[in-house]
Amino acid sequence: MKVREYADSWPPIITIGSSDADLADRVLSLRKYSNANDRIILEAVDRNGRSYGVPLVLPEDALERAINALNKKLPLTLRQVGDLNI
């Protein structure tokens, strides 16, 4: 299955920072969310160079697969993240 099929919402509608998520934005890195076992924060940059975070909530069994797959392939666009098979 693809990341977007596991995600609570896709495309992302909630961001941390000053930008709205656009599927063409680049995801440069990720980090585990410190207070939850079912989410990561995608660190993205919009076309104007502003960075922001995108919470990605996945079932716990899919989270580690997503982290491993993303770490091997970053940087990706948000569209490519959603299309990634895990």
For the chain, give the percent of residues with pLDDT over 90. Answer: 72
Instruction: Count other C-beta atoms under 10 Å from residue 45's C-beta.
Output: 15
Global pTM reads 0.90
- What pLDDT sits at residue 34? 74
- What pLDDT sits at residue 11? 85
Per-domain residue ranges for the chain? 3-83
pLDDT band at residue 14 using 50, 70 and 90 as cut-offs:
confident
> Above 80 in pLDDT, residue 36?
no
Share the mean pLDDT of the chain: 91
> Above 90 in pLDDT, residue 38?
no
